[in-house]
Chain A
Amino acid sequence: MGARQTTTSVKLPATVQRFDIHQRIQHGSLAISVILLVLSGWPLSTQGVGASKVLVDLFGGLESCGSIHRGAALLLIFGSVYHLFYLIGLGTRRKLRLTMLPTPADVRDLVQNISYMLGMSKDRPRFPRYTYFEKFDYWAVFWGVVIMVGSGLVRWFPVKATAVLPTWAYEIAHYAHADEALLATLAIFIWHFYNVHLRPAVFPMSKVFLHGRLTIDELAHEHRAEYDELVAKLEREQRAETTRDEEQDEEKNDEKDEEKSDEQDDEQNEEPSDKSEKRE
């Protein structure tokens, strides 16, 4: 894993902080609520299957199954609102990094990664802080939550919803809820569970969602661009310390050089990770 690690004069931390406590709480509430929602909502969309009845009984009957579904929905809404406020909070403190936004580089990464995995290209893409498949996960959830919460609320309060909305809106909500649920469930079990559980590199599971930390080896392997950025930043800091006596003009020239090399990675963030901590 660490074979590709470049030799550098700076002392690298053993681990880096990837997700802070807020993000882990948000992920936790999302995970718990989605699992409950899938299990308690599944029987209604496949009422003809024998397992549906078993699931309903497992939740203690249809009434409590419905209550659990609505309770879990509230947890999901809580997690989503928490996340939005978290983003707003970061924005007001000017700490919001737009690393999650899709960029053209992601398409290039996708093509390169697939050709690499098929053996047609020797180099693995130098992934930024969030790889294209992680971005896909995030935006799939974003889209999914908007649709599921919206259509779910319409179906939760049909009388009130129809008083405000046209009937075709209810029809859309009715079908979108079940269909998007299927899509989201399949995406989670095929895509997300493979990437964070079944992938040989992380099997049986990646523990980042628990402690929020990546080892420096993992960072170098999975998010090369971010790793390079970190190394560059540390080197810069070290040099700044040793050459404190030197003139500031020279320092600026140095920084420009560094930035030029960074541009090759197509990392859009100008600020290096604030959250990375020194740990030796």
Chain B
Amino acid sequence: MRAAATCVALAALLLPPTARAAPAPPASAPASQPAKAPAKATAKASAKGKTAKPKGDSEASDPRWCRACHTQRRFSKKRWARGAHAEQTCRDCHSAHAFNPHEKPKASEDDAVKAIKKAKLFTRDPVAAASCGNCHDDVGVGELVHGRGRTKRKADKQGAGTGSGSGTVAGTGTGTGAGTGSGTGAGTGSGAGKADKKKADKHKRLTPWCSDCHGDAHSVRLAKSMKPRARRLMMNERCLACHADKKRMSRAGIKSPVAHSYHDSMHARLLALGSSRAPGCIDCHGSHKLVSRDPATMAKRCPKCHKGATKKFATLVSHKPISSRPASYYTQKFFAWLTFLTILFLALHVLIDLSHALRHTKRQG
């Protein structure tokens, strides 16, 4: 899988940038020509790619060249080559940069880029940060909780036409793509009033950007390429980076301490102990089609693991703090006191018995 991805990447390097815009043909063309062993065919193609030297503008985006100057540590060629973006090269995302290092990057008129600049997210290259949607335009984050953000949702409630308003932002109509929806600056601009705009500015850093969940675009990996457990642990960590952050959650108006109740659950325990089946956050909550706290949608996911699970069963999983669940709360309180008092009595009894027995045997001896 990785080898194939690398092959495709190297094959892509050989082609002029115009051809690279459509990455499908270079991968399929050499594969279809030789016999019926596509894997071998791509391997051959990569062998050719390795021997042949890159020429002219086709090498313009090869990280090897860019890295002559851009030596950021976060970029690892190895991880890039085996990652999901192995087919992409530097300028696919950093598109404002010319190959000529003496040329200044083009100023972007894009709404999303402006929003990112205004929010002071990704100051290094806002164009690259806004470029996810160029390819990933079908994700639909903009319509959902993370895309809209808390403020936008409030604005929607005031009558700004939820679906259509955010839909256009999320779509490619503005040319910004899915990621744009999460830029609250751009999102609120579409239909909310001035007061909301102020609020939006206040909360502009609350909603996550693509890379907050997916990680660094340079090394992002395909979900399929990871083992389920490793992927779940990784994604959990990223969800909890915000959802376990009390300050951030209180600013977003989310009271539920999900981290604690999740870690206390059987799901998290099994996952921590090495289960390859136990679910992480996104297994129940979904990813881009984030359902958050909608019990009806959540209930549909239980039967995937628990055959015959009903809606009632789904309510067993709760992120509510234990203090607001009386049955659990009083059970724990009862056993805490029972255990404390019983063991206190037993331990004292043992100590008294032991001290007597030791004194007794001493006297005899």
Contacts and interface: CB of A to CB of B under 8 A. Distances in A.
Interface of B is mostly: helix
Q: Which of B273, B309, B332 has the most CB of A within 10 A?
A: B273
Given A117-B356, A172-B327, A62 B270 contact: yes
B342 A183 contact: yes
B58 to A, nearest CB: 50
Interface in A148-174: 158-160, 162-163, 167-172, 174
Contacts of B350: 190-191, 194
Interface in B329-350: 331-332, 335-336, 338-339, 342-343, 346-347, 349-350
A176 B59 CA distance: 65
Given A117-B356, A159-B307, A44 B273 contact: yes
A179 B332 contact: yes
A83 interface: no
Nearest to A179: B335
Interface residues of A, number: 43
A47 B273 contact: yes
Nearest to B338: A183
Contacts of B74: none
B316 A162 contact: yes
Nearest to B322: A175
B347 A190 contact: yes
B355 to A, nearest CB: 8
Interface in A175-212: 175-176, 179-180, 182-183, 186-187, 190-191, 194, 198-201
A53 interface: yes
Nearest to B308: A159
B76 interface: no
Contact of A168 (B308, B327, B338, B347): B327
Contacts, number: 112
Nearest to B353: A117
B98 interface: no
A44 B270 contact: yes
A133 interface: yes
Interface string B351-365: 011111110010000
A182 B275 CA distance: 23
A266 to B, nearest CB: 21
Contact of A133 (B308, B336, B349): B349
Interface string B301-342: 000001111101101100000000111100110011011001
B306 A158 contact: yes
Nearest to B307: A159
B48 interface: no
Interface residues of B, number: 42
A114 B280 CA distance: 53
B101 interface: no
Q: Which of B272, B338, B349 has the most CB of A within 10 A?
A: B349
A43 interface: yes
A183 B340 CA distance: 9
Interface string A33-74: 000000000011101100011001000011000000000000
A58 to B, nearest CB: 12
A186 B339 contact: yes
A44 B307 CA distance: 22
Contact of B352 (A48, A117, A171): A117
B40 interface: no
B343 A183 contact: yes
Given A118-B352, A159-B309, A182-B339, A47 B269 contact: yes
B274 interface: yes
Nearest to A178: B335
A190 to B, nearest CB: 5
Contact of B353 (A47, A169, A180, A199): A199
A159 B353 contact: no
B331 A171 contact: yes
A43 B273 contact: yes
A280 B27 CA distance: 95
A240 to B, nearest CB: 40
6 contacts: A44-B273, A56-B273, A163-B310, A167-B312, A194-B354, A200-B357
Given A167-B316, A200-B358, 13 more contacts: A47-B269, A61-B274, A158-B306, A167-B315, A168-B326, A169-B327, A179-B331, A179-B336, A183-B339, A190-B343, A191-B350, A198-B354, A201-B357
List the 4 closest pairs (A to B, CB-CB), nearest first: A179-B335, A168-B327, A117-B356, A47-B269
